[in-house]
Amino acid sequence: LLLLLPLLLVPLALLARTRRGRRTPPLSLLVVAGSGGHTTEILRLLSCLSESYSPRHYVFADSDKMSEAKIRSFEQKRAEKFPKSQFTLHRIPRSREVRQSWISSVVTTLYSMLYSLPLTNKLKPDLILCNGPGTCVPVCISALLLGLLGIKRSIIVYVESICRVETLSLSGKILYYFSDYFIVQWPDLKEKYPKSVYLGRIV
């Protein structure tokens, strides 16, 4: 839990605006899942969070055939500990396929944003948590746009994947400049990217 201190302190900034003696409100959390190890890592992070992070809205690519089953299994086990917790599942078009060209990626990412923007506006999360899948880019950009428009300010927490030892992922290189908290798991990345927060291995 100490390793996840930046994540656990996020609610304090939001709760500071509430009056003293008022009951602590839950935090709406949007989680961007990705195929393969991304979903496994993000679920490990979620297992450390308290019941205050509810409801949890999961967003993943429509071509992702693995994440939904993993998420449902995770939430089923979590319900045994927190029976009142809630979650929803949402699919959007994948912004970039593996080995997809850079030029075509711009087009598919814009297409994904057409779905991400109204979805993010509907959910209006307090906190967005992501760890590198391409799907997180249109989601986070949509959240930034909503904040700039004064509709909803969401805190973006990006946790770079454990497999990224010396260089950031493409998503990380983009969101490094826009996230509120950028967490890396290897010291070499901290040296190269001063804004990042190094906590050691957290997944």
Question: CATH number of the domain that 39 lies in?
Answer: 3.40.50.2000
Distances, alpha carbon 15 to alpha carbons 1, 33, 69, 197, in Å: 20, 27, 33, 23
Contact at 8 Å (CB) between 154 and 27?
no
Domain count, the chain: 1
What's the domain range around 172?
26-198
Least confident of 86-90, 104-108, 181-185, 195-199: 104-108
Looking at residue 85, what is its pLDDT? 86
CB 63 within 8 A of CB 94: yes
SS (H, E, C) 108-157: HHHHHHHHHHHHHHHHCCCEEEECCCCCHHHHHHHHHHHHHCCCCCCEEE
- Is 13 inside a domain boundary? no
Q: Would 58 be classed as within a structural domain?
A: yes
Kindly state whether residue 8 falls inside one of the protein's structural domains: no
Question: Could you check whether the bond before residue 83 is cis, i.e. omega within 30 degrees of 0?
Answer: no
Interatomic CA distance for residues 47 and 56, integer angstroms: 12
Express each pLDDT in 114-139 by its tens digit.
Answer: 999 999 999 999 999 999 888 999 99
Mean pLDDT on 131-151:
94
Q: Is residue 55 part of a domain?
A: yes
Residue 15 belongs to a domain? no
Whether 20 is covered by a domain: the verdict is no
Three-state secondary-structure class, residue 93 = coil
pTM, full prediction: 0.85
CA distance 101 to 21: 54
Residue 67 covered by a domain: yes
Q: Is residue 97 part of a domain?
A: yes
